[in-house]
């Protein structure tokens, strides 16, 4: 335990994990939040057999309910933005079968604090939303020890009520001595996300194609390296970029639309492949930068290494697909699409390392302003 200010204490990832283990929790499933990374970074090694990276938070809840029916004691981890994906199975599965679950939630956008625009509404709703779903909650800065943190949670769970531990920024801190435990930077020989992105944007050049970037660092890098009015950098709504791009492609069938997606985001809403494959927009190029990780939130692993996105897209009805491991191939794929040599919907899977790209800031243009710029670019 480390006191970071007078009324506030931060738990280390390891002390929190040990407290969970001491309370009997033995199954860990969810989608990461960077605020939880000091703890999540320990799970792949320490909990090899009982750690499940889920594709979205709703899937994680259902999986935890199933595990709880076998006597396992699951913990579901998520960012509060992911409560949006979890509400249905929380309200119409967990409560219906009487499964009480422990949630560990990264608490973004808490009322009275400043945060990114996509976190503000959910931040102000989080405590009320949990309460209205019958879920108890504890804010992890109001406690002194890992054990204290779990007192109300354990009591709720004993009474058949779910409970959420809410970690605001700084609520969990890394154990300096343990950083080597965390396996990072998969596939070091491959290009980085930023190399694929810059190659794609180099091919876009001065064309007026719409470019939609997925949530996280992809959008930040697009704004940093190739700012243009025809870009839309998604800031929240993880996984929704291809569907948003599909809507634009349908509304402007003659205008090229390119979506720069991530493996974590695509798996969170794999259903977008189904609708794109069914509607077959010729003007849509889907670039998936697959770095086998949630790099934006700390490099936690995804399950993409066992997924062939090109084959999935093909079987959903995409016109064509390719998987490549060089930035040049990504450049050439974008060029071929813009030159009309490759017709959409085409998926280009760009294999990447999860090694850090240079840090860039958040998009300077806010989401509403970006949407307004795009609207007027599309009117021209
Ligand atoms: C519903 C939801 N859950 C979790 C997050 C937190 N989050 C933001 S970006 C990100 C990782 C995205 O991974 P990927 O699409 O593979 O892109 P990468 O960061 O690896 O480039 C996560 C988990 C979020 N924004 N929304």
**CA–CA separation, 61 and 102 (whole Å):** 10
User: What does DSSP assign to residue 191?
Assistant: P
The mean pLDDT value for 126-151 works out to 92
User: Does residue 32's CB lie within 6 angstroms of at least one atom of ligand 1?
Assistant: yes
Give residue 215 CA to ligand 1 midpoint distance, Å.
Answer: 6
User: Does residue 79's CB lie within 6 angstroms of at least one atom of ligand 1?
Assistant: yes
Written as six digits, the tokens of 111 are 């009322």
Q: CA 281 → CA 88, 137, 254, 311, distances in Å?
A: 31, 45, 10, 18
The mean pLDDT value for 247-255 works out to 97
CA-nearest residue for atom 26, ligand 1, is 238
Return the percentage of the chain with pLDDT > 90, whole number. 88
User: Does residue 218's CB lie within 6 angstroms of at least one atom of ligand 1?
Assistant: yes
Q: Strands 2-5 and 8-12, how do they pair? A: antiparallel
User: What does DSSP assign to residue 91?
Assistant: I
3-state SS string over 288-354?
EEECCEEHHHCCEECCHHHCCHHHHHHHHCCCEEEEECCHHHHHHHHHHHHCCCCCCCEEEEEECEC
pLDDT band at 184 (very low <50, low <70, confident <90, very high): low
Q: CA 45 → CA 32, 168, 197, 300, distances in Å?
A: 16, 25, 31, 11
Give residue 31 CA to ligand 1 midpoint distance, Å.
Answer: 8
CA-nearest residue for atom 9, ligand 1, is 216
Give residue 296 CA to ligand 1 midpoint distance, Å.
Answer: 6
Judged by DSSP in three states, 182 sits in coil
User: Does residue 193's CB lie within 6 angstroms of at least one atom of ligand 1?
Assistant: yes
Give residue 294 CA to ligand 1 midpoint distance, Å.
Answer: 6
Handedness of CA 323, 326, 330, 331 (dihedral sign): negative
Query: 10 pLDDT exceeds 80?
Result: no
Quickly list DSSP for 143-157: -SSHHHHHHHHHHHH
**CA–CA separation, 182 and 42 (whole Å):** 6
Written as six digits, the tokens of 1 are 């335990």
Written as six digits, the tokens of 8 are 């506030």
Give residue 50 CA to ligand 1 midpoint distance, Å.
Answer: 22
Mutate-to-test residue for ligand 1 from 297, 303, 356, 358, highest number of ligand atoms within 8 A of CB: 297
CA-nearest residue for atom 23, ligand 1, is 32
Mean pLDDT of the chain: 94
Give residue 142's pLDDT: 65
Are the C-beta atoms of 34 and 298 separated by less than 8 Å?
yes
**CA–CA separation, 303 and 201 (whole Å):** 27
- Strand segments, DSSP code E, in 109-228 are 136-139, 163-167, 172-173, 210-213
pTM score, whole prediction: 0.95
- Which uninterrupted H or E stretch holds 118? helix 117-132
User: Does residue 81's CB lie within 6 angstroms of at least one atom of ligand 1?
Assistant: yes
Query: 180 pLDDT exceeds 60?
Result: no
Give residue 6's pLDDT: 40
User: Does residue 33's CB lie within 6 angstroms of at least one atom of ligand 1?
Assistant: yes
3-state SS string over 345-368?
CEEEEEECECCCCCCCCCCCCCHH
Written as six digits, the tokens of 359 are 């840090």
The mean pLDDT value for 244-256 works out to 98
pLDDT band at 311 (very low <50, low <70, confident <90, very high): very high
CA-nearest residue for atom 13, ligand 1, is 294
pLDDT tens for 315-358 read: 999 999 999 999 999 999 999 999 999 999 999 999 999 987 88
| β-bridge mates for residue 79, sequence order | 106
User: Does residue 156's CB lie within 6 angstroms of at least one atom of ligand 1?
Assistant: no
**CA–CA separation, 330 and 179 (whole Å):** 33
**CA–CA separation, 154 and 160 (whole Å):** 10
Atom from ligand 1 closest to the CA of residue 266: 15
Are the C-beta atoms of 289 and 218 separated by less than 8 Å?
yes
pLDDT tens for 186-204 read: 788 999 999 999 999 999 9
Atom from ligand 1 closest to the CA of residue 215: 9
Nearest CA among 12, 10, 9, 32 for reference residue 20: 12
Burial per residue of 220-230, b for 16 or more beta-carbon CB atoms within 10 angstroms, e otherwise: bbbbbebebbb
CA-nearest residue for atom 2, ligand 1, is 82
Give residue 278's pLDDT: 98
Return the percentage of the chain with pLDDT > 70, whole number. 95
Atom from ligand 1 closest to the CA of residue 293: 20
Phi, psi of 257 (to 5 degrees): -125, 130
The mean pLDDT value for 274-303 works out to 97
pLDDT band at 185 (very low <50, low <70, confident <90, very high): low
The mean pLDDT value for 61-88 works out to 98
User: Does residue 82's CB lie within 6 angstroms of at least one atom of ligand 1?
Assistant: yes
Written as six digits, the tokens of 357 are 């790209």
**CA–CA separation, 36 and 247 (whole Å):** 34
Query: 179 pLDDT exceeds 70?
Result: no
């Amino acid at each position: 335990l480390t006191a970071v200010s007078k009324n506030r204490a931060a738990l280390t990832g390891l002390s929190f994990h040990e407290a969970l283990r001491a309370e009997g929790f033995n199954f860990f499933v969810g989608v990461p939040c960077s605020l939880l990374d000091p703890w999540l970074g320990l799970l792949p090694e320490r909990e090899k057999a009982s750690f499940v990276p889920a594709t979205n938070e709703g899937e994680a809840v259902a999986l935890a309910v199933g595990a709880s029916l076998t006597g396992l004691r699951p913990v579901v981890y998520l960012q509060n933005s992911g409560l949006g994906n979890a509400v249905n199975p929380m309200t119409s599965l967990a409560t219906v079968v009487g499964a009480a679950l422990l949630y560990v939630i990264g608490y973004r956008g808490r009322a009275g604090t400043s945060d990114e625009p996509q976190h503000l509404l959910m931040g102000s709703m989080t405590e009320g939303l949990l309460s209205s779903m019958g879920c108890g909650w504890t804010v992890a800065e109001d406690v002194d020890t890992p054990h204290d943190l779990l007192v109300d949670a354990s009591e709720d769970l004993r009474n058949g009520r779910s409970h959420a531990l809410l970690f605001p920024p700084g609520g969990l801190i890394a154990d300096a001595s343990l950083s080597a435990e965390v396996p990072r930077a998969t596939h070091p020989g491959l290009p980085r996300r930023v190399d694929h992105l810059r190659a794609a944007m180099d091919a876009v050049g001065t064309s007026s194609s719409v470019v939609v970037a997925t949530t996280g660092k992809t959008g930040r890098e697009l704004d940093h390296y190739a700012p243009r009015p025809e870009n839309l950098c998604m800031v929240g709504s993880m996984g929704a970029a291809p569907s948003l791009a599909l809507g634009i492609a349908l509304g402007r069938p003659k205008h090229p639309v390119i979506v720069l997606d991530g493996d974590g985001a695509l798996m969170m809403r794999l259903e977008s492949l189904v609708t794109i494959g069914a509607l077959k927009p010729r003007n849509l190029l889907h670039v998936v930068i697959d770095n086998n990780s949630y790099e934006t939130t700390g490099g936690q692993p995804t399950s993409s290494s066992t997924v062939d996105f090109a084959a999935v897209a093909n079987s959903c009805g995409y016109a064509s697909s390719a998987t490549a491991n060089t930035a040049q191939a990504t450049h050439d794929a974008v060029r071929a699409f813009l030159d009309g040599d490759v017709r959409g919907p085409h998926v280009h899977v760009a294999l990447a390392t999860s090694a850090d790209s240079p840090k860039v800031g958040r998009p300077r243009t806010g989401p509403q302003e970006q949407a307004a710029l795009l609207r007027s670019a599309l009117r021209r």
